Amino acid sequence: MTTMQMLYLWVPLSPLIGAAVAGLLGHWISRRLAHSVTILGVAFSFVASLVIFLDVLAGHTYNGTVYTWLVAGATPLHIGFLIDRLSALMMVVVTFVSLMVHVYTIGYMHDDPGYKRFFSYISLFTFAMLMLVMANNFLQLFFGWEGVGLVSYLLIGFWYTRPSAIYANLKAFLVNRVGDLGFLLGVALVLRQFGTLDYSAVFAQVPAATHVAVTLFPGHPWMLLTVISLLLFVGAMGKSAQFPLHVWLPDSMEGPTPISALIHAATMVTAGIFMVARMSPIFEWSDTALSVVMVIGGITALFMAFLGVIQNDIKRVVAYSTLSQLGYMTAALGASAYSAAIFHLMTHAFFKALLFLAAGSVIMAMHHEQDMRKMGGLRKYMPITYGTALIGSLALAGIPPFAGFFSKDAIIEAIGHSTLPGAGFAHFAVLSGVFVTALYTFRMLFMTFHGSPRMDEHTRAHLKESPWVVWVPLVALAVPAFASGFLFVQPMLYGNYFGSAIMVQAPHAWAAQMGEAFQAHGGTLGAIAQGFFSAPLWLALAGIGTAWFLYLKRTDLPARIKDRFSLIYAILEHKYGFDEFNDWFFAGGARRLGGVLWRWGDVRVIDGFFVNGVARMVALSARFTRRLQSGLISHYAFAMIIGVAALIWFAKG
């Protein structure tokens, strides 16, 4: 094994060791040791990821097996790593955000009795996420996929005595399992068709399978690659919370804030985006699948953004924002703009983690109050939190030169170029989403940090900036939230950074056309200048202006708008009714059906009629035959005569 290969192995292993030490030895070690070990593990992972990233940039990719997990027949299934430009980038993003969150947790979870358990979980999560992105095959991808799901479940329910938390974590797990069902079937179909689960072997065979049809319903042959793509995408819809499997993400905010930043904003929920980008050699062959991906993304981007506007819980605003931004990434995937999707994934990881952690900082200062109606004017008390939150908000709203501007603009433009069915709708959705995004983002910023303080006296008297372990990660995240856009837009988006890691068919190569235009118009600075002549920036500014007008200038207006449009408000309040419907139809329906099958099928029919029925029949016949044994000689003699007569009759016949 070479040094680099050792390093690959240690990237996921060191957080795993940290998790094991903090988790299994939790009884015997101090809090200090628990957080030191886990932070050291993740820090090592981060540094190693950087080294690997630079090594990959130098042209050294790797695709190899660590060990053979199973052999079934002639099919070996491996655990192995694929280190290329896509996975190396993801490794850096994941370990960086994870490291920040680890440090932040020292401050945020300071008073929590589950301190060591929490560190163990987030390190375990980092391990699972790394296994996911580093996988060189579908099996290990699924391992990581379910692994992050498990830790997400454990962390949403971290405060396990809260009814809302243990409801939310079960819901999250089950909704994700719906997605996993599709994903696993997609994997099974891949195995059936290609006889292997290794990416490179599968991708090499894909072009030869473009004409293979599969008939799921008699008389309706479908293109195999379309079916595979759609099934895999169902998995992405679960994990990346796309409509209609988005319902679990808002509830996941029941977990402690650091994990909302790490898992439910920056990393795990982007696993679906990453997966589709990884599978681009399959998706690219199916316009149908890409269309579906784009439309689902568009729906999520716009309709989830609307919900962000009416939330009063600061974390829920950020949560709906995450849903909406994931919709942007998904829509970009549908437009074959994989590099734009991954670019936005990265910038979003920075600024959304930043916004969550800033929200967490506010929540700490407010003594775990999350209602923005009880905040206001915090910028005087928490200047660092405010400053970093402002950077995050500007990045989210897409104001140049902040990171989100470049990545979001690229997505909108790519979708605008797409000629697939549904592209028109998706373009409309992501474009109008820009206005809504800016509106809810700055509504949140203004309600929290500006205006007059609305908290009670006691809280107000204790308001202060958070400790350094909290604000250092904020600042560290604010730097890439500001700069990662203009620094990386040229190489990553338009410089063919991903190379062979991502495949785009010639008819879908809109991103490449954009790249040419980008170079022609003077590169990064030109893009900023161009921004002022395009709709998204003006929509974003209009959104900010509206937020300013409604929440700082004319604060009486929101209530009046609410009264005026009460129906729309009610629909948004109920989140379009998905939760009610799912609870009644799926959760309730399954229980009702289970009850019927049990009480009727098992208890009445099988046991009642057949099993106990047979027993009753035996008892009945025994009661009858018992009478025959009367003990009277005359009866027996009579029976004998009949018997003899019958025998004679038989013998004659």
Partner 1 sequence: MASTPWLSLVIWVPILFGVLVLATGSDRNARLARWVALVGAVAGFLASIPLYTQFNVQTAGMQFTELHPWIEALHVNYHLGVDGISVLFILLTSFTTVVVVAAGWKVIEKRVAQYMAAFLIMSGLMNGVFASLDAILFYVFWEAMLIPMFLVIGVWGGPNRVYAAVKFFLYTLLGSLLMLVAFIYLYQRSGGSFDILDYQQLPLGLEAQVLIFLAFFMAFAVKVPMWPVHTWLPDAHVEAPTGGSVVLAAIMLKLGAYGFLRFCLPIAPDASHLLSGFMITLSLIAVVYIGLVALVQGDMKKLIAYSSISHMGFVTLGIFLFNRFGTEGALVQMISHGFVSGALFLCVGVLYDRLHSRQINDYGGVVNRMPLFATLFMLFAMANSGLPATSGFVGEFMVIMGSMKVNFWYSAAAATTLIFGAAYTLWMYKRVIFGKITNPRVEGLSDLSTREFLILGSLAVVVLAMGVYPLPFTEVMHSSVANLLSHVAQSKLKGA
Query: Residue 612 burial (CB < 10 Å; 0-12/13-18/19+)?
Result: exposed
* Residue span binding partner 1 (CB under 8 A) among the ranges 157-165, 424-432, 535-543, 576-584: 157-165
φ and ψ at 80, to 5 degrees?
Answer: -160, 170
* Residue span binding partner 1 (CB under 8 A) among the ranges 183-191, 199-207, 285-293, 449-457: 183-191
* Count of residues in contact with partner 1, rule CB under 8 A: 49
Residue 81 pairs in a beta bridge with: 64, 135
- Measured from the CB atom, is 251 or 284 closer to partner 1? 251
* Residue span binding partner 1 (CB under 8 A) among the ranges 174-182, 245-253, 310-318, 537-545: 174-182
DSSP 8-state assignment for residue 198: B
CA gap 417, 594 in Å, rounded: 49
Residue from the set 51, 170, 487, 512 that interacts with partner 1 by CB under 8 A: 170
Instruction: Evaluate whether 183 touches 235 at the Cβ level (below 8 Å).
Output: yes
* Residue span binding partner 1 (CB under 8 A) among the ranges 175-183, 293-301, 464-472, 643-651: 175-183
Give me the least distance between CB of 586 and partner 1, in Å please: 9
* Residue span binding partner 1 (CB under 8 A) among the ranges 395-403, 515-523, 534-542, 607-615: 607-615
Q: Does 192 participate in binding partner 1 (rule CB under 8 A)? A: yes
Does residue 207 sit in helix, strand or coil? helix
CA gap 623, 24 in Å, rounded: 65
* Residue span binding partner 1 (CB under 8 A) among the ranges 169-177, 257-265, 333-341, 619-627: 169-177
**Residue 439: CA count within 13 A, CB half-sphere:** 20
Give me the least distance between CB of 598 and partner 1, in Å please: 4
Give me the least distance between CB of 167 and partner 1, in Å please: 8
Give me the least distance between CB of 333 and partner 1, in Å please: 24
Give me the least distance between CB of 501 and partner 1, in Å please: 25
Residue from the set 606, 619, 620, 642 that interacts with partner 1 by CB under 8 A: 606
Give me the least distance between CB of 241 and partner 1, in Å please: 17
Give me the least distance between CB of 68 and partner 1, in Å please: 6
- Measured from the CB atom, is 127 or 406 closer to partner 1? 127
Q: Does 15 participate in binding partner 1 (rule CB under 8 A)? A: no
By CB under 8 A, what part of segment 208-247 binds partner 1? 214, 216
Give the torsion sign (CA, 291, 297, 300, 301). Answer: negative
Residue from the set 597, 637, 642, 646 that interacts with partner 1 by CB under 8 A: 597
CA gap 449, 649 in Å, rounded: 108
Q: Does 593 participate in binding partner 1 (rule CB under 8 A)? A: yes
- Measured from the CB atom, is 598 or 638 closer to partner 1? 598
Residue from the set 69, 381, 548, 578 that interacts with partner 1 by CB under 8 A: 69
- Measured from the CB atom, is 231 or 341 closer to partner 1? 231
Q: Does 413 participate in binding partner 1 (rule CB under 8 A)? A: no
- Measured from the CB atom, is 142 or 283 closer to partner 1? 142
Q: Which of 514, 479, 515, 323 has the alpha carbon at shortest distance from 403? A: 479
CA gap 231, 200 in Å, rounded: 20
Q: Does 641 participate in binding partner 1 (rule CB under 8 A)? A: no
Amino acid (1-letter code) at residue 277: A
Q: Does 13 participate in binding partner 1 (rule CB under 8 A)? A: no
- Measured from the CB atom, is 620 or 644 closer to partner 1? 620
> What string marks each residue from 553 to 592 as x (binds partner 1 by CB under 8 A) or -?
-------------------------------------xx-
CA distances to 310, 443, 543 from 313, rounded to whole Å, are 9, 12, 20
* Residue span binding partner 1 (CB under 8 A) among the ranges 358-366, 502-510, 563-571, 597-605: 597-605
Give me the least distance between CB of 13 and partner 1, in Å please: 13
Residue 377's region, left for phi above 0, alpha for psi from -120 to 50, else beta, is: left
- Measured from the CB atom, is 564 or 599 closer to partner 1? 599
Instruction: Evaluate whether 484 touches 403 at the Cβ level (below 8 Å).
Output: yes
Give me the least distance between CB of 37 and partner 1, in Å please: 19
Q: How far apart are the first and last CA of the chain?
A: 91
- Measured from the CB atom, is 107 or 182 closer to partner 1? 182
Instruction: Evaluate whether 77 touches 199 at the Cβ level (below 8 Å).
Output: no
Give me the least distance between CB of 18 and partner 1, in Å please: 17
| Whole-angstrom Cα Rg for the chain | 30
Q: Does 173 participate in binding partner 1 (rule CB under 8 A)? A: yes
- Measured from the CB atom, is 93 or 234 closer to partner 1? 234
- Sequence-separated (6 or more) residues with CB below 8 Å from residue 389: 354, 355, 358, 359, 362, 445, 448, 449
Q: What angle do CA 365, 366, 370 make, to 5 degrees?
A: 125
CA distances to 135, 281, 504 from 278, rounded to whole Å, are 10, 8, 12
- Measured from the CB atom, is 79 or 541 closer to partner 1? 79
Residue from the set 1, 557, 570, 611 that interacts with partner 1 by CB under 8 A: 611
The DSSP annotation for 312-381 comes to: -BHHHHHHHHHHHHHHHHHHHHHTT-HHHHHHHHHHHHHHHHHHHHHHHHHHHHTTS--BGGG---GGGT
Give me the least distance between CB of 144 and partner 1, in Å please: 9
CB atoms within 10 A of CB 636: 13
Both tokens of residue 288?
Answer: 């149908």
Q: Which of 151, 104, 103, 156 has the alpha carbon at shortest distance from 130? A: 151
Q: Does 161 participate in binding partner 1 (rule CB under 8 A)? A: yes
Give me the least distance between CB of 64 and partner 1, in Å please: 18
Most distant CA pair in the chain, distance = 121
CA gap 305, 294 in Å, rounded: 17
- Sequence-separated (6 or more) residues with CB below 8 Å from residue 583: none
- Measured from the CB atom, is 198 or 284 closer to partner 1? 198
By CB under 8 A, what part of segment 293-312 binds partner 1? none
By CB under 8 A, what part of segment 114-153 binds partner 1? 142-143, 146-147, 150, 153
- Measured from the CB atom, is 40 or 150 closer to partner 1? 150
Residue whose pair of structure tokens reads 């009949």 in the numeric block: 642
Q: Does 601 participate in binding partner 1 (rule CB under 8 A)? A: yes
Give me the least distance between CB of 613 and partner 1, in Å please: 12
Give me the least distance between CB of 33 and partner 1, in Å please: 19
CA gap 536, 534 in Å, rounded: 6
Q: Which of 36, 39, 121, 103 has the alpha carbon at shortest distance from 474? A: 103
Peptide bond connecting 401 to the previous residue in cis, omega within 30 degrees of 0: yes
Q: Could you list the residues that contact partner 1 (CB under 8 A)?
A: 67-75, 142-143, 146-147, 150, 153, 157, 160-161, 163, 166, 170, 173-174, 177-178, 180-181, 184-185, 187-189, 191-192, 214, 216, 590-591, 593-595, 597-598, 601-602, 606-607, 610-611
